[in-house]
Amino acid sequence: KNQVEQSPQSLIILEGKNCTLQCNYTVSPFSNLRWYKQDTGRGPVSLTIMTFSENTKSNGRYTATLDADTKQSSLHITASQLSDSASYICVVSPNSGYALNFGKGTSLLVTP
């Protein structure tokens, strides 16, 4: 069973609108949680990384939140742009540092 679940699976929004992507995980113990953006045909690019003690991290129009008690994270995108169309992947790293746990991603399409 996948230890990282993302929702929604896909999302379509109008340019300029905000959106929030969700990530629930069961990985324990927990070291850090990352959000990646993956454009079609490209490798994932890191947006944010948060450790256990952090509950929010921003990178431009991207803001990630983390609730380690409920094991939930969200990625909020403000004032979306066409270039935000991509897959957003939540990745959780256990304390061992051996293997990252990947979600299946949320496919975001921003339309004019």
Partner 1 sequence: EAGVAQSPRYKIIEKRQSVAFWCNPISGHATLYWYQQILGQGPKLLIQFQNNGVVDDSQLPKDRFSAERLKGVDSTLKIQPAKLEDSAVYLCASSLDRNSYGYTFGSGTRLTVV
Beta carbons of 19 and 107 less than 8 angstroms apart:
no
Q: Which is nearer to partner 1, 2 or 58 (CB)?
A: 2
Phi/psi at 27 (nearest 5 deg)? -60, 130
Show the tokens assigned to 94.
Answer: 């256990």
Q: What burial letters (b/e) apply to 17-31, b meaning 16+ CB within 10 Å?
A: eebebebbbebeebe
Out of 44, 57, 80, 86, which residue is the one contacting partner 1 (CB under 8 A)? Answer: 44
Stretch that binds partner 1, among 11-19, 50-58, 74-82, 88-96 (CB under 8 A): 88-96
112 binds partner 1 (CB under 8 A): no
61 binds partner 1 (CB under 8 A): no
Out of 43, 53, 60, 70, which residue is the one contacting partner 1 (CB under 8 A)? Answer: 43
45 binds partner 1 (CB under 8 A): yes
User: What is the spatial distance between Cα 47 and Cα 33, in angstroms, rounded to a whole number?
Assistant: 11
Phi/psi at 50 (nearest 5 deg)? -130, 135
Binding site for partner 1 (CB under 8 A): 4, 31-32, 34, 36, 41-46, 89, 91, 93, 97-100, 102-105
